[in-house]
Amino acid sequence: MLPKTALERLGSPVVTWKSSSYEIFTEKQIAEAFEVFDEDRKGKAKLKHLGTIVRAVGRVPTLQDLEDLASKVEDEEYPGYFRLPKLLPYLTEILMKDNWKSSTEEGMIRAFRILDADRKGVLESAFLRKLFTEQGDNFSSEEIEKFLNTSSDPAGNINYKELCADLVASQMFDIAESRRKIREKLVDDRYRMC
């Protein structure tokens, strides 16, 4: 007998007769992503994995978005955890309304062009370090150094067209394709906790 999926373990169907086929597909994707982090198969996942689950279904939330969602879905019985039935309506609504989408490559290039006063197609690492650590969702020093070390050329410049091509998240996301990566991250997280 095959193991039950997260949706099947809920006992009753999550979707209703009103659900569109897109909603059903969306809920199945959310359930598949959730299932990867339901470590003990008891229908709950740690809140620290909420961002990974949201990103696994192709969305790019801000830290504030994640904090707001976490406060809505956190399990009262098990603080620090959340359950699929509580997550489904919120995340399905986010997906159905097309919220938290990643920027398009063209949109990101236009944004970087505004910062590129000389129209060279590159930005200096020092300028981006200041921008990314002082504006919006601030990066940590470690995160920005890792980013700049992998993105800049030997002269310390970053070609933002190439960067944008690398940064844009896919709008269509196949959970089955990415399960291996998600599981690797989970194993890495567990290893770091030891």
Query: Which has more confidence, 103 or 177?
Result: 103
Give residues with Cβ within 8 angstroms of 15, minimum separation 6. Answer: 23, 24, 27
**Mean pLDDT for the stretch of residues 12-23:** 54
Going from the C-alpha of 137 to that of each of 7, 66, 147, the distances in angstroms are 34, 12, 15
Going from the C-alpha of 76 to that of each of 44, 71, 173, the distances in angstroms are 12, 10, 31
**Mean pLDDT for the stretch of residues 120-124:** 94
* pLDDT, position 18: 46
Give the span between the Cα atoms of 57 and 54, in whole angstroms: 6
Give residues with Cβ within 8 angstroms of 63, minimum separation 6. Answer: 137
User: Does residue 4 register a pLDDT over 70?
Assistant: no
Lowest mean pLDDT among 55-64, 152-161, 170-179, 181-190: 170-179
In this structure, are residues 164 and 116 in contact, taking their beta carbons and an 8 Å threshold?
no
**Mean pLDDT for the stretch of residues 164-189:** 61
Give the span between the Cα atoms of 140 and 138, in whole angstroms: 7
